[in-house]
Amino acid sequence: MILRDLGLAVWVSLKTSGLAAVIASALAVPAALYLSSREFRGKKVVLAVTQTWMAAPTVVIGLLFYSLLSRSGPLGGLGLLYTQTAMTVGQTFLILPLVMGFSYTALRQVDRRARQTALTLGASGRQAGWIVLREARFPLLVAVLAGFARAVSEVGIAMMLGGNIRNATRNITTSIALETAKGEFRDGVVLGLLLLVITLGINLLVQSGLRGRGGDS
Amino acid sequence: MGRLAYRLRDVGYAYPAPPSPFALEIGSLDVPEGKTLAVVGPNGAGKTTLLLLLAFLVRPLRGRIDLFGRDAWAADDGGAHARRDAVLLAHHPYLFKGTIADNVAFGLKVRKLPDAEARPRVAEALALVELDGWGGKPVSGLSAGQTQRVALARALALRPRALLLDEPTANLDAALGLRTEAVLGEAGRTWGTTVIFSTHDLAQASRLADDILYLSDGKRAERAAAAAFPFPGRFC
């Protein structure tokens, strides 16, 4: 595998999975905040669906979106199949329940007095919500990073929705699959290690950034 | 009687879910501005629930609570406006992660007070609870008594018009409890703060309060001037 191809594959992985993590977090964290602070009919069903969804195989999600985005599918007119956008959409759908489930757990563990204290000190409901998020920032960060890790390491969605097109949608995991299929096991292992190193680097970077903002873990 | 800080009429509240079938019913309660009211009664009498209602942290199921002449729940803001005037210090106060100064400054930041004004207010509040120079310390590792004092400083920094305290000296030793009482008295005199606190200590209630309200089974059982309050001895 030539260096340029490797660089592009890394870039595609970071871009698609990073975007998926950002989008999923933007949807899942507010939803988790709502779920953790309110009691309503059907809440247990929402949580059960979320937990079940976490176990969905990537290839099933890939298949679902493939059927939606393929030329004959209801969203075929968008022309998204075999694009990085399709990969991001699929990965977002994959990690949404994971980020939401972890965020829900993180927010449930915040002392319930935090919100009430913020309110009595004059915070608005929205500000009190931010306080609860701030109190849970480290476990929430773990939720987001876990989502990213899941997205960047999956292969089923990337293969089915991206198509493993060289210099376009080929990422690290589809490159590993390709090298393995070619019998280049050594290259596959090296790519796998590279993926781990990149994920480790991002974890360290984000965590040190948060510590620099005065947080404690 | 001067202006009223609180005026309650036919206020009812009940906890919605089992296991607690508790309900609080207050037919009428007036608290004049600048006065100190002690709320006493046995465990489960409704003292904390009453304070939560007065702090506008729970909404009564029926009735009306006026704060400084305004129906606090009439404005469709979930009680937010009223909460700017009435601050509750909980029995087991919660401190946000960060430093002591961050915590004491919290309410001032929410009110968008400029740093130049907030800093001396924080220092003054910490001095009141004898924690001068502690501002930079993290809150992790504070004792229960220190936590209580930081929370009190956080409330005092706001110079609230109404200060509500749920057993404010329960976590403090006797000497510190007396000093805290002095601080509360000082707040009333200096800023005209209306102070309402719950306690199991009748001696404290009579030392600190102008009036004493005795709750029993969620109802107002008795109210009298502290000097004239009968000491039934049945709820100490």
Contact list in A for residue B87 (CB cut-off 8 A) is: 120-122
Show the CA angle centred on residue A102, arms to residues A101 and A106, nearest 5°: 120
pLDDT of residue B78: 86
Nearest CA distance, B84 vs chain A (angstrom): 5
Contact list in B for residue A111 (CB cut-off 8 A) is: 94
The pLDDT tens digits for A153-198 are 999 999 999 999 999 999 999 999 999 999 999 999 999 999 999 9
Residue A136 DSSP one-character state: T
C-beta atoms of B97 and A215 within 8 A: yes
- Rounded to an integer, what is the distance from CA A154 to the centroid of its chain? 11
Q: How far apart are CA B181 and CA B208, in angstroms?
A: 7
- How high is the ipTM of this complex? 0.91
Nearest CA distance, A135 vs chain B (angstrom): 7
pLDDT of residue B18: 62
**What average pLDDT does the segment B133-161 reach?**
94
Confidence of residue A83 (pLDDT cuts 50, 70, 90): very high
C-beta atoms of A121 and B96 within 8 A: no
pLDDT of residue B234: 45
Confidence of residue A2 (pLDDT cuts 50, 70, 90): confident
**What average pLDDT does the segment A123-131 reach?**
94
Contact residues for B236 (Cβ-Cβ < 8 A; gap 6+): B200, B201, B202
The pLDDT tens digits for B74-132 are 988 889 999 999 999 999 999 999 999 999 999 999 999 999 999 999 999 999 999 99
C-beta atoms of A119 and B83 within 8 A: yes
For chain B, the residues whose C-beta falls within 8 A of a C-beta of chain A are 55, 57, 78, 80, 83-84, 86-88, 90, 92-94, 96-98, 106-107, 110-111, 138, 140, 154-155, 158
Enter the tokens of residue A112. Answer: 């319930």
Q: β-pairing, B4-14 with B211-216?
A: unpaired
pLDDT of residue A63: 95
The count of other CB atoms within 10 Å of the CB of residue B140 is 10
Enter the tokens of residue B29. Answer: 């309660």
Q: Dihedral of CA B192/B194/B198/B199: which sign? A: positive
**What average pLDDT does the segment B64-75 reach?**
94
The pLDDT tens digits for B178-218 are 889 999 988 888 899 999 999 998 889 999 999 999 999 88
- Lowest mean pLDDT segment, chosen from A99-103, A199-203, B20-24, B48-52: B20-24
pLDDT of residue A176: 95
Nearest CA distance, A145 vs chain B (angstrom): 22
pTM over 0.90: no
Closest by Cβ to B90, choosing from A113, A123, A125: A113
